[in-house]
A and B are shown apart, each in its own frame.
Chain A
Amino acid sequence: MTTSWRHPGAFGCMIGWYRDIASNFKPGAFTVAFLLLPFLTDYLLAPCLAQSDSERSVLLPVPTNLSNYQRPFDELSRLAQWRIMIHGLRDAPLDPRVWGIRVVDRSENRQLVPMRPFFLRASEQADFQLDKVLIDFKFRRVGKGMMHRRPDTYTPMIDIGFSGVYKKGAPGERALKDSSYLVRLSGSPLFDSGLFYSSHGKLAPIIVEEQLNLEAGDNYRVELLFDKNQLRLLLNNQELLVHSGKDFRTGLVSLTTDWHPAKIEKLHLTGSLSSTGESVVFEYSKAKQ
């Protein structure tokens, strides 16, 4: 089945509930329940379902078979290892329970690992607030000459997206809304690093920071610290970028790297659920690593 909408199967739930009533209640209660049922369905249940539909995930669901993730990477067959490796960025597999791709970005993997943004599933929740992103990483070493000659293949780049909004459009049509703020860290002399705003893929620079241009092959630690109306960026513990004026904590959080691989050693995100005050931490699940 190919579908762009997954319903929770409310009809089945209703039938089950109806049967429970019929088997446990006496005839009088049954009659009352029978009369109440349409009311409940039309005025209570249906609006709830409609609302849940409008808030439905734009991400592909978590795969049902996660047995590969329960076992040590080295004990897996080559095929199982490959299945883990293809879910994520190049050279950096991501836990499908934590990270997912949009339905619209769904692709056949075959032998290649497509470049596409991976979204933090928790960030789809309206009450999720991102507090901190920490990534230890390095780009595979490559010369500047190659970056100039072959930007198609040799562009070291990582985009950390946040405060994203996505509203899907009709099949085959562009999204109604697809925007995000992102911090771009580029190791290529062809592309700037800094803070950008992206709308339907188009980028507008907010702050371009030369000190954020990286060297392929070197180890880096980038930290993004979100406070109310302020964003701070630290590279190797040195504060290089501060931006104020907007609350960046809510909205979709994403990661994207280019075809030139970035090896991620540590990925640590912390956030909280504003409705409950509960803190959440996402550690990099590298499977084998």
Chain B
Amino acid sequence: MTPKVGLLKTLLYIIALGLPLLVFIVPLPIADSYYHGWRLGVLAFVLYTIIGAGIFGSFLARNLSSETLLRSFATTSLVLLLLVVLLSLFFDWELPFALGFVLLWFGIFLFSLVDNSRIRIRGLMTFLIALAILCSFELTLSAIPERYLIDQVVVVPPLAERERSEALYEQKGFRGERPCTDCSEQAIRIFTMGGSSTYGIPLYYSTGTYSSVLGRMLEERRVGESFEVFNAGIAGHGIIQVLHSIEASIIEHKPDIISIMSWFNDSAPGPGWWGVHGKSDRDAYIQLRVLWTLQNWWLYQQIHSTRAYGLFRFYVLRSWEHLAPLLSSGKEEGKGHPTRISPKEFRWALEEVMKLGKEHDFLPVLILEPLHRTHPVEKMLEKNRYYQVIFDVSKKYNVPLVDTVTPMSKRQDQWLFYDFIHPNLDGHRLIAEELYDTLLTKSKVARDFLHSRGVNLDLPELKRHYHYQFESDKLAHSTLEFNIRAPYLAEFSTLLNFYVNGEIIGEPKTLSSKFQQFKLAIPEQALKTPIVDIAFEAGAVQTAGMEPYKLRDTDRYSPVHLEVKSGGKDYGWTVQVEANGKRLDPKTRGYNVVVLGGDSGKYLSSAAFDTFSSPEQSIKLIEYLESLSSFTENGEPPIVIIAVHTDGFHNVDSELLSQAVEKLGGSGKLPGPFESYALIGVPGAAPGTAIEELGPRLVELSVGSEEITRAKLLEVQEINF
């Protein structure tokens, strides 16, 4: 019996338009719960509608000439649909439903290929149908719970890995210092960037890096001004990675000055930072930038996160990765780029940094990265093309250049490095001094820039301690002459001590705020050794009242001015212990403990206990605090300063630590999670008598007067040397 055309038309219409509607509307919420199938669902529905309309039109155009085929197709479809519905009553229904749906549309696809010569838009229709099948396939996969799929299909790998230095900055911050949250907006932020020499490998303590030394120099010498210096060096970084890091991570910290010390890693043999064989760092970077941009596109992310693509990636692309080396000659694999980047590319990167500087209003400062036992800079310039580029770029863009090579070459016979490229403590100090001098003295560009940022360049250079070294032959027959003053002396007076070979010589001299001339003849008995170390510093400050120096109710006085700061994670995220303006804390997360002599106020010891990392640190902290109780300096117990950085709560044995703190005069209260805590106490003091503060805020303690500390700053004019 031949079916009636009207009925058939109706059925086909239902199949072509109605089913997609039903199929996609019903499972959408379920598919979405597993995956983001709704977008594909909508897309597929639109496609199906177009396809269905096209097929329906073709049926009409052909006057149903393939009735038998259509009948069998429609029957199969109905049976399948029925089967799907029945199965879905007994099983996890969206899966068989979707499978049935795929079969259904595969049938339609076959039908469209059998006899559709009259369809003018055959190619487009085929494409749309294939796309629809793909969408159905994806929906099917989406319906499969994740646990049944292999990880490589479910987990979407990035097209290009995120640059790892971004993650490093995010996870670990900068070495030794975090941006403080309570600093004034006027604080000048200096970032030192480069590779391992800047990071300070293999220095165990961050306090020795040139970045830290520069920070301390600025703290000490630039009274009343605020600077923050961050070590943004990362081992292995070359100029291309520095360029990327500035754009991706540093700019957001609003840098004022960025110093860059890089060339050695750039001149190293390839493959470079990203390990791409046969490509320089610059080429690899440009390629990666395209990929990083591409993978951030919405459409790309949609396609890449589909499971269908996951299967394709796993079974096809991955296979190709295995296959490709077998098919290639093998020459490409071993072929590396001669250097990570060429001098020409190095110039390109430096110029990009210069452009960034103009765009984001920071001053780039270029530092010549020195080598162990380096030749003088003139000779190095002849043979080192990277140095030449650095010189050229600094001239072209009129940015400061820090010549570390000249002072290093003058000390060519000394141990300033740990190996051929990584400076040791003395090497770092030398770099820091040169950087400081360039910024504040030598470079007009840097001085103008700092002036524009509010730095008072008329201030004299001030130090607490001057250190000189001479050949003894010269000193034996000459007298050294200095003009010295302590410009901050007002109502106080201070004494000047001279040291030769570490021993005080002569009587202390009284200083004033006006320049006075001092003559120093080295006594014969001091000339025991070929070199004479000469040092001088402002000694004790004589002040009328000691009341500001009293340690609250402990009946003890501090011999020195103390400033203590503690900031929990959300309350400043910082730590600082200063005695007479000299920073002494280890700058480490957890409990920072500084011990000063009770008689002289001199630094005796410091220790850091990162209790956040492990409970063992808490035990060690308690042992350490307990051991202090039996220590004396000339019969006086020491002054113990405790300041918490980030957290002093987790992993802490609160009962034992409370007891240990009480023995220092503390109240026994300890900080809560990520809270601040600071204490200035004395072993043996009664509980609750020490200076102590804690809580969810930035904690700052002070003993004595900052004015008196300042009074010990010296300005020196060397006359006869």
Task: Tell me the A residues contacting B by CB distance below 8 Å.
Answer: 1-5, 7-12, 14, 41-42, 45-47, 49-50, 53, 104-110, 112, 114-117, 151-153, 155, 167, 170-174, 176-177, 179, 190-192, 197-206, 246, 256, 259
Contacts and interface: CB of A to CB of B under 8 A. Distances in A.
A202 B531 contact: yes
Nearest to B416: A201
Given A1-B617, A9-B623, A151-B412, A108 B531 contact: no
Given A7-B627, A107-B203, A152 B420 contact: yes
Contacts of B203: 107-108
A167 B502 contact: yes
B471 interface: yes
Nearest to B415: A201
Interface string B576-600: 0000001111101000000100000
A152 B417 CA distance: 9
B632 interface: yes
A80 to B, nearest CB: 20
Nearest to A179: B529
Given A2-B607, A114-B419, A259-B420, A200 B469 contact: yes
A155 B469 CA distance: 26
8 contacts: A1-B620, A12-B627, A106-B204, A152-B420, A172-B213, A200-B426, A202-B469, A204-B472
Interface stretch (B370-378, B486-494, B666-674): B370-378
Interface string B512-533: 0000000000000000111101
Interface in B414-445: 414-422, 424-426, 429
A50 B205 contact: no
A190 B373 contact: yes
A12 B619 CA distance: 14
The 10 closest A-B pairs by CB, nearest first: A5-B605, A172-B207, A3-B607, A114-B418, A107-B202, A204-B530, A7-B627, A152-B371, A151-B373, A152-B420
Contacts of B507: none
Max chain B Cβ within 10 angstroms of own Cβ: one of A1, A46, A110: A1
A5 B604 contact: yes
A2 B609 CA distance: 7
Contact of B374 (A114, A116, A152): A152
Contact of B606 (A4, A153, A203): A4
Contacts of A191: 412-413
Max chain A Cβ within 10 angstroms of own Cβ: one of B208, B213, B415, B628: B415
Given A109-B202, A173-B582, A197-B529, 14 more contacts: A2-B588, A2-B607, A3-B607, A5-B605, A7-B628, A9-B627, A50-B633, A151-B412, A152-B420, A153-B372, A179-B531, A201-B416, A206-B530, A246-B528
Nearest to B529: A197
A105 B374 CA distance: 22
A151 B375 contact: yes
B631 A50 contact: yes
B603 interface: yes
Interface string B177-221: 000000000000000000000000111110110001100100000
Contact of A172 (B208, B415, B605): B208
A162 B469 CA distance: 20
A14 B630 CA distance: 9
A228 B402 CA distance: 49
B608 to A, nearest CB: 5
A116 B372 CA distance: 13
B530 A172 contact: no
B360 interface: no
Nearest to A13: B630
B501 to A, nearest CB: 8
Contacts of A176: 502
Interface in B630-647: 630-633, 635
Contacts of A173: 582
A206 B531 CA distance: 10
B626 interface: yes
Interface string B349-377: 00000000000000000000001111100
A38 B630 CA distance: 11
Contacts of B530: 197, 204-206
B624 interface: yes
B629 interface: yes
Contacts of B4: none
Given A115-B419, A151-B375, A172-B212, A4 B605 contact: yes
B469 A12 contact: no
A204 B471 contact: yes
B417 A115 contact: yes
A69 B565 CA distance: 45
Given A7-B631, A46-B632, A171-B586, A199 B420 contact: no
A167 B529 CA distance: 17
Contacts of B344: none
Given A1-B607, A2-B608, A107-B204, A204 B420 contact: no
B164 interface: no
Interface string B227-266: 0000000000000000000000000000000000000000
B619 to A, nearest CB: 10
A255 B415 CA distance: 13
Contacts of A117: 415
Interface of B: 201-205, 207-208, 212-213, 216, 371-375, 411-422, 424-426, 429, 467, 469, 471-472, 501-502, 528-531, 533, 582-586, 588, 595, 603-609, 617, 620-621, 623-624, 626-633, 635
Max chain B Cβ within 10 angstroms of own Cβ: one of A109, A199, A201: A201
Contacts of A170: 582, 584, 603
A199 B533 contact: yes
Contacts of B607: 1-5
A179 to B, nearest CB: 7
Contacts of B595: 5
A111 B415 CA distance: 20
A95 B145 CA distance: 60
B212 A112 contact: no
A105 B422 CA distance: 13
A173 B212 CA distance: 11
A199 B469 CA distance: 8
B662 to A, nearest CB: 14
B414 A202 contact: yes
Contacts of A109: 202
A200 B246 CA distance: 37
A179 B203 CA distance: 22
Contacts of A200: 426, 467, 469, 533
B632 A47 contact: yes
Contacts of B469: 199-200, 202
A14 B631 CA distance: 13
Contacts of B528: 246
Given A50-B631, A204-B471, A108 B204 contact: yes
A200 B205 CA distance: 19
A151 B426 CA distance: 19
Nearest to B212: A172
Contact of A171 (B207, B419, B471): B207
Nearest to A115: B418
B420 A105 contact: no
Nearest to B535: A176
A45 to B, nearest CB: 7
A48 to B, nearest CB: 10
A192 B501 CA distance: 25
A248 to B, nearest CB: 12
B372 to A, nearest CB: 4
B415 A256 contact: yes
A150 B421 CA distance: 12
Nearest to A170: B603
Given A49-B631, A152-B420, A190 B412 contact: yes
Contacts of B529: 179, 197, 199
A205 B628 CA distance: 44
A135 to B, nearest CB: 19
Contacts of B633: 50
